[in-house]
Chains A and B, each alone.
Chain A
Amino acid sequence: MTDAMLISVLVIAVLIVVTMIRLFLGPTAPDRVVALDAINTLTIAAMLLLGAVYREIIFIDVAIVYALLSFVGTLYIAKYLGGEM
């Protein structure tokens, strides 16, 4: 069971590196914002899986805080791109 979760973490890490290609190539800033948001969500998924691997409850709390902050960060950049801020 633990091995299966670690392999899932590995697959998610590979996906993060693949998403970075879009962060690198993306011709405009909005492309890069979407890539950043995808990286954030993949990171939260990896954190939840690792919390199950390590069997610690506090690790799940970190993922919750993280989800909230990633939303705020993306919102700031989107507000700037929309010209509202």
Chain B
Amino acid sequence: MIELIAHMLVLAGLVITAVLVFYFRDLLSAAIAFGAFSFLLALEFYILQAPDVAIAEAGIGAGLTTAIYIVAIRGTKRMEEVEE
């Protein structure tokens, strides 16, 4: 029962961060929200008792993806242009 409530809270957090990734106009903020998303996804894998998947998700999501997004944002523009 308690585990089920923890499950629901983590899943609610996943939905919130996934919406935030699309909501932010600042691309750096979107990258930060994606980092939070991947961390919560790793926690969800962990609650489902799959630690190897959680290690892979944390390594790729936190270590690699965030760094590569930052490099890409540095090479291009930080703000998304609003289409009129």
**Interface set of A (CB-CB < 8 Å, partner B):** 3, 6-7, 9-10, 13-14, 16-17, 20, 23-24, 26, 29, 32-33, 35-36, 39-40, 43, 46-47, 50, 54, 56, 58-59, 61-62, 65-66, 69-70, 72-73, 76-77, 80-81, 85
B62 touches A77 (CB 8 A): no
Interface of A is mostly: helix
Contact B28 A29 (CB under 8 A): yes
Interface size of B by CB at 8 A reads 38
Closest to B26 in A: A29
* A17 close to B12 (CB less than 8 A): yes
Beyond A24-B16, A29-B32, A72-B62, is A40–B70 a contact (Cβ under 8 Å)?
Answer: no
